[in-house]
Amino acid sequence: MTGSQIAALIFALLLLVPGGCFLFFGMAMSNGMLLFFGVAILGLMGFLFWVAFRRPPPPGADTSAT
């Protein structure tokens, strides 16, 4: 894992608790704003997990679009 992947994993794990709490309390209190923030935070967390666990392209692979 590269340093940026480790950082993304750490931030994703840190966002799991507040995202889950916003989602839970947003549903429990039927509050649309808390629900929106919970979904947004968990979406960001999912993106960070994707960044943390994606595989880098193989050496010598052409990454430019033609």
| pLDDT, tens digit, 9 for 90 and up, residues 6-59 | 888 899 889 889 998 988 988 898 888 888 999 999 999 999 899 888 877 677
Sign (positive or negative) of CA dihedral 11, 16, 17, 20: positive
Residue 18 lies inside a defined structural domain of this protein = yes
Residue 36 lies inside a defined structural domain of this protein = yes
**Does residue 65 surpass a pLDDT of 80?**
no
Domain count, the chain: 1
Residue 58 lies inside a defined structural domain of this protein = no
State which residues form the domain around 27: 3-53
If residue 42 lies in a helix (H) or strand (E), which one and from where to where? Answer: helix 32-53
Residue 65 lies inside a defined structural domain of this protein = no
- pTM for the complete prediction? 0.74
How far apart are alpha carbons 20 and 40 in whole angstroms?
11
Residue 59 lies inside a defined structural domain of this protein = no
Residue 8 lies inside a defined structural domain of this protein = yes
| pLDDT, tens digit, 9 for 90 and up, residues 30-45 | 888 888 999 999 999 9
How far apart are alpha carbons 34 and 22 in whole angstroms?
5
Burial of 62 (0-12, 13-18, 19+ CB in 10 A): exposed
